[in-house]
């Protein structure tokens, strides 16, 4: 169990960041589900509750999601069901249970760059940007490869497009972590294949995504592309599966993802 010596609920981000950077052991608190499992000794816990960051907003060109938004809101929000073929609600629905998702936050889920993450994989196949208090706004893919620095994830910006996407996760049992997860999306002829829980963090299969940008696809071509995706990405072994198995799953899931996106109308 973690310990917290002091706790603050700042009223603005400047203050929050100030306190966060004050001491090495000062820590942002999201829903605390992950933090509480650790043994971390937190000097000052910075609770973002008062910053009004729990919202999902439609803007002209973007959908904006505040860091303190719960995964359950993501799952049930009408806007997100409507956009991108509902890929975001789909991606989080198997994480533990409703009362769990009511508590855990989007900000923590993205900021932590968990390898097993369902949400990051889905976000990665969309045009997602991350806004950090200090480092500013950047594409999610850049954020994922950036070295970890103390910062506050403030919100996500997802470009509002007619992108159609599919999310598939493979779990050994219903509420377990993914052994592998895959998101495939298509906007006009631009495809993106993202693969997560490899078990390292999600990445885009760049070459395979590029190969997809043809008009008509035969089953053989799709299988070839899926094969390509499984070859260009690296896979590792952990308790939930071996690298070999993950590679095979990647091929199977990418193939299914492509076949499911194909019939979706993006205009």
Shortest distance, position 129 Cβ to other proteins, whole Å:
28
Nearer to other proteins, 33 or 210 (CB): 33
Q: Which stretch binds ligand FAD (CB under 6 A): 75-83, 103-111, 211-219, 257-265?
A: 103-111
Measure the N-to-C terminal CA separation of the chain; round to a whole number of Å.
Answer: 50
Q: Which stretch binds ligand FAD (CB under 6 A): 100-108, 222-230, 239-247, 259-267?
A: 100-108
Q: How many CB atoms lie within 10 A of CB 139?
A: 13
What is the x/- site pattern for ligand FAD, positions 49-88, by CB under 6 A?
Answer: ------------------x---x-----------------
Task: From the list other proteins, ligand FAD, none, pick the one residue 241 interacts with, judged by a Cβ distance below 5 to 8 Å according to partner type.
Answer: other proteins
Q: Which of 69, 85, 90, 105 binds ligand FAD (CB under 6 A)?
A: 105
Q: Does 34 bind ligand FAD (CB under 6 A)?
A: yes
Question: Residues interacting with other proteins, by CB under 8 A?
Answer: 1-7, 29, 31-33, 36-37, 42, 45, 47, 49, 72, 93, 96-100, 102-103, 170, 172-176, 179, 239, 241-242, 245, 248-249, 252-253
Q: Does 27 bind ligand FAD (CB under 6 A)?
A: yes
Rounded Cα–Cα distance for residues 221 and 219 (Å): 5
Contact 26, 42 (CB under 8 A): yes
Sign of the C-alpha dihedral computed for residues 85, 120, 93 and 91 taken in this order: positive
Q: Does 28 bind ligand FAD (CB under 6 A)?
A: yes
CA distances from 226 to 160, 210, 211, 244, 259 (A): 27, 12, 10, 15, 11
Q: Residue 205 contacts by C-beta under 8 Å, 6 or more apart in sequence?
A: 193, 194, 195, 228, 229, 232, 233, 254
Nearer to ligand FAD, 31 or 257 (CB): 31
User: Which one-letter DSSP state was computed for residue 115?
Assistant: T
Q: Does 217 bind ligand FAD (CB under 6 A)?
A: no
Shortest distance, position 164 Cβ to other proteins, whole Å:
22
Q: Which of 152, 166, 195, 202 binds ligand FAD (CB under 6 A)?
A: 152
Q: How many CB atoms lie within 10 A of CB 134?
A: 13
Task: From the list ligand FAD, other proteins, none, pick the one residue 109 interacts with, judged by a Cβ distance below 5 to 8 Å according to partner type.
Answer: ligand FAD
Task: From the list ligand FAD, other proteins, none, pick the one residue 108 interacts with, judged by a Cβ distance below 5 to 8 Å according to partner type.
Answer: ligand FAD
Q: Residue 202 contacts by C-beta under 8 Å, 6 or more apart in sequence?
A: 115, 117, 120, 121, 124, 144, 181, 194, 195, 196
Rounded Cα–Cα distance for residues 172 and 169 (Å): 10
Contact residues toward ligand FAD (CB under 6 A) are 27-35, 37, 67, 71, 95-96, 104-105, 107-109, 111-112, 114, 116-119, 152-153, 177
């Amino acid at each position: 169990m973690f310990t917290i010596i002091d706790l603050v609920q700042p009223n603005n981000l400047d203050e929050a960041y100030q306190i966060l950077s004050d001491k090495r052991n000062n820590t942002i608190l999201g829903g605390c589900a992950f933090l509480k499992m650790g043994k971390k000794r937190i000097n000052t816990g910075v609770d973002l509750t008062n910053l009004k960051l729990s919202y999902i907003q439609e803007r002209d060109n973007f959908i904006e999601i505040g860091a303190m938004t719960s995964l359950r809101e993501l799952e049930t929000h009408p806007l997100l069901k409507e956009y991108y073929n509902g890929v975001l609600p789909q991606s989080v629905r198997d994480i533990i249970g409703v009362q769990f998702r009511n508590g855990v936050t989007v900000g923590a889920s993205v900021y932590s760059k968990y390898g097993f993450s369902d949400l990051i994989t889905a976000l990665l196949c969309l045009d997602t940007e991350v806004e950090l208090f200090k480092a500013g706004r950047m594409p999610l893919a850049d954020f994922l490869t950036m070295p970890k620095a103390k910062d506050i994830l403030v919100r996500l910006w997802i470009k509002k497009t007619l992108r159609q996407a599919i999310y598939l996760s493979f779990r050994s049992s219903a509420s377990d972590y993914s052994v592998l997860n895959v998101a495939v999306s298509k906007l006009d002829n631009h495809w993106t294949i993202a693969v997560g829980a490899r078990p390292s963090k999600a990445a885009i299969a760049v070459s395979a995504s590029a190969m997809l940008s043809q008009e008509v696809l035969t089953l053989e071509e799709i299988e070839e592309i899926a094969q390509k995706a499984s070859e260009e990405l690296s896979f590792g072994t952990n308790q939930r599966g071996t690298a070999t198995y993950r590679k095979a799953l990647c091929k199977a899931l990418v193939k299914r993802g492509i076949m499911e996106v194909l019939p979706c109308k993006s205009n």
